[in-house]
């Protein structure tokens, strides 16, 4: 099997990349539309941008063209999301006779209230991602490809609503006041939206790419969309409990252009690491014995709260706040234990709808490789941001420390893969453990620890 996994895609014809002269007129029309939109942005809003924002926009134009040429389904997503955002902005602007937008009209104008305001669009995203997960699992239960196809289409609709909601929220923040406007990646609510649609779009890319290579991924999306649905469930809970759906001014440390590039790069890493872990779970169901699955899959979530609880007991930090965090984590772990128990019991049924182990192994590797590259970039950018905000590149803040642990974990995984040919069950368990480590870095630090990065307390 090791030999198969290392050569499983080498015999397939590569996805063709036409030269500049061979590109169809639709490619150039798309490029012209992106450039025209960028020029319009410069002329319309250039006075409100600083030099860094202008630089980001200048880099974004060829980047978006390149993405649209690389993977054509992104073109329609970009065009539709842009048009929907423009439509929402026009409705806001038309709703008042004064300069600027009247955001109160979000509850009065039909299209804003039910579809295009940021909160409405994000709620639609949530519903569509839940529905996508359900249809993927219907495909598993009925042993049919129809469920997976419907799940993928609904996932695309969810990404569209998520991207529209994100862009409209960005517009809304600037209408509140010149010092309020910011890219919506500043708190847990906003980054969970980012995580949800980034993870989904990467999954849709891999699903399409492997399909073109003649390697169907079956209902593997049922596993990936589960982690997306979990993220959506959390952000809905967080919005209700914390009122986090309201746009808030940035704290001083976040008032930096570094946030615009550091946070998205970070969450490409988080999203692809989560994707790889869910693929690893499907791989283990396919290859591991039930006894090993019971021990490992039940033990992993328990370790999530056992380790910090042990630390609190050893260092005498059993405060009421920390025990409340342990209680919250315990409820999360309880849900995971129930889920893992169900999938282990349905192991044989599920395995009929998942791809061959070597195909899942290849998806897992590609996702980790992409995530590691972006996470490395994000860590470097974070160091520059820290130097600007706090006067030092590294302070061993809990978030920084755990980010380093995450980086070292996946660096070691890739080293063993590339240098020692790591494959199989051990690699899958390692990728799954990586999700526990990443989750603690993402959420556990906010729950159990405090520091300079405590912007989203639970």
In a domain? residue 269: no
Cβ neighbours around 12 below 10 Å, total: 12
Whether 329 and 233 share a structural domain: no
Considering the domain architecture, whether residues 296 and 347 belong to the same structural domain is answered as: yes
Same domain, 226 and 327: no
Kindly state whether residues 358 and 432 are assigned to the same domain.
yes
Which of 201, 221, 247 terminates a domain? The answer is 247
Q: Say if residue 128 is in the same domain as residue 219.
A: yes
In angstroms, the CA 239 to CA 327 distance is 20
392 in a structural domain? yes
CA separation for the pair 217, 354 (Å, rounded):
7
Is the same domain home to 134 and 192? yes
Last residue of a domain, one of 202, 221, 247: 247
Residues 232 and 291 in one domain: no
Dist CA 163 CA 158 (whole Å)? 9
Q: Please indicate, yes or no, whether residues 457 and 393 belong to a single structural domain of this protein.
A: yes
Range name among 116-130, 142-156, 212-226, 240-254 with the lowest pLDDT average:
240-254
Answer whether residue 3 shows pLDDT above 50: no
CB 421 within 8 A of CB 2: yes
Confidence grade of residue 51 (pLDDT, cut at 50, 70, 90): confident
Do 307 and 442 belong together in one domain?
A: yes
> By residue range, what is the domain housing residue 430?
281-458
Residue 385, both tokens: 């941001």
For the stretch 64-118, pLDDT in tens is 999 999 999 999 999 999 999 999 988 888 755 454 677 877 888 899 999 999 9
pLDDT of residue 313: 55
Rounded to two decimals, the pTM is 0.88
38 within a domain of the structure (yes/no):
no
Instruction: Give the pLDDT score at 4.
Output: 41
pLDDT digit string (tens) for 402-420? Answer: 899 999 999 999 999 999 9
Task: Name the helix (H) or strand (E) containing 1.
Answer: none
**Any domain includes 263:** no
pLDDT digits (tens, 9 = 90+) for 321-352: 666 666 666 666 666 777 778 888 888 888 88
Q: Are residues 239 and 301 in the same domain?
A: no
Q: Are 237 and 155 found together in one domain? A: yes
With a cut of 50, say whether residue 5 has pLDDT above it: no
Q: Is pLDDT above 50 for 383? A: yes
Question: How many domains are contained in the chain?
Answer: 2
Residue with more model confidence, 383 or 293: 383
Q: With respect to residue 261, please indicate whether it lies within any of the assigned structural domains.
A: no
Q: Is residue 409 part of a domain?
A: yes
Question: Is a pLDDT exceeding 50 seen at residue 152?
Answer: yes
Highest mean pLDDT among 130-134, 233-237, 260-264, 316-320: 130-134
Domain annotation covers residue 406: yes
The reply to whether 48 falls in a domain is no
């Amino acid at each position: 099997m090791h030999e198969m996994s290392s050569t499983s895609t080498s015999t397939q014809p590569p996805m063709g990349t036409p030269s500049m002269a061979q590109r169809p007129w639709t490619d150039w029309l798309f490029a012209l539309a992106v450039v025209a939109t960028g020029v319009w942005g410069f002329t319309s809003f250039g006075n409100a941008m600083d030099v860094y924002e202008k630089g980001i926009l200048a880099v974004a134009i060829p980047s978006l063209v390149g993405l649209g040429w690389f993977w054509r389904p992104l073109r329609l997503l970009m065009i539709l999301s842009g048009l929907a955002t423009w439509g929402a902005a026009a409705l806001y602007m038309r709703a008042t006779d004064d300069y600027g937008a009247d955001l109160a009209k979000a509850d009065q104008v039909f299209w804003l209230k039910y579809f295009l305001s940021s909160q409405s669009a994000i709620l639609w995203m949530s519903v569509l991602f839940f529905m996508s997960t359900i249809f993927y699992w219907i495909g598993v239960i009925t042993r049919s490809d129809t469920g997976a196809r419907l799940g993928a289409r609904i996932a695309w609709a969810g990404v569209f609503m998520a991207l529209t909601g994100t862009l409209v929220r960005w517009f809304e923040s600037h209408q509140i006041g010149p010092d309020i406007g910011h890219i919506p990646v500043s708190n847990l609510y906003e980054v969970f939206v980012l995580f949800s649609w980034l993870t989904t779009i990467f999954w849709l890319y891999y699903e399409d790419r492997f399909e073109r290579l003649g390697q169907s991924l079956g209902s593997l999306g049922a596993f990936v969309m589960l982690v997306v649905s979990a993220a959506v469930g959390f952000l809905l809970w967080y919005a209700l409990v914390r009122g986090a759906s309201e746009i808030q001014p940035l704290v001083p440390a976040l008032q930096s252009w570094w946030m615009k590039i550091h946070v998205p790069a970070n969450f490409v890493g988080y999203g692809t690491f989560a994707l790889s872990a869910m693929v690893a779970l499907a791989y283990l169901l396919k290859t591991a014995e039930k006894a090993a699955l019971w021990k490992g899959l039940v033990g992993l979530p328990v370790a999530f709260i056992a380790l910090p609880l042990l630390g609190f007991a050893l260092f005498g930090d059993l405060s009421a706040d920390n025990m409340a965090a342990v209680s919250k984590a315990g409820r999360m772990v309880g849900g995971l234990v129930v889920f893992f128990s169900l999938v282990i019991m349905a192991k044989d049924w599920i395995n009929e709808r998942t791809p061959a182990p070597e195909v899942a192994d290849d998806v897992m590797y590609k996702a980790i490789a992409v995530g590691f590259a972006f996470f490395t970039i994000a860590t470097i950018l974070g160091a520059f941001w820290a130097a600007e905000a706090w006067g030092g590149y590294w302070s061993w803040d809990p978030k920084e420390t755990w980010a380093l642990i995450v980086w070292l974990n996946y660096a070691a995984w890739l080293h063993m893969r590339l240098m020692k040919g790591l494959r199989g069950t051990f690699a899958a368990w390692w990728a799954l453990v990586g999700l526990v480590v990443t989750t603690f870095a993402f959420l556990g630090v906010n729950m159990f620890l405090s520091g300079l990065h405590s912007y989203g307390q639970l």
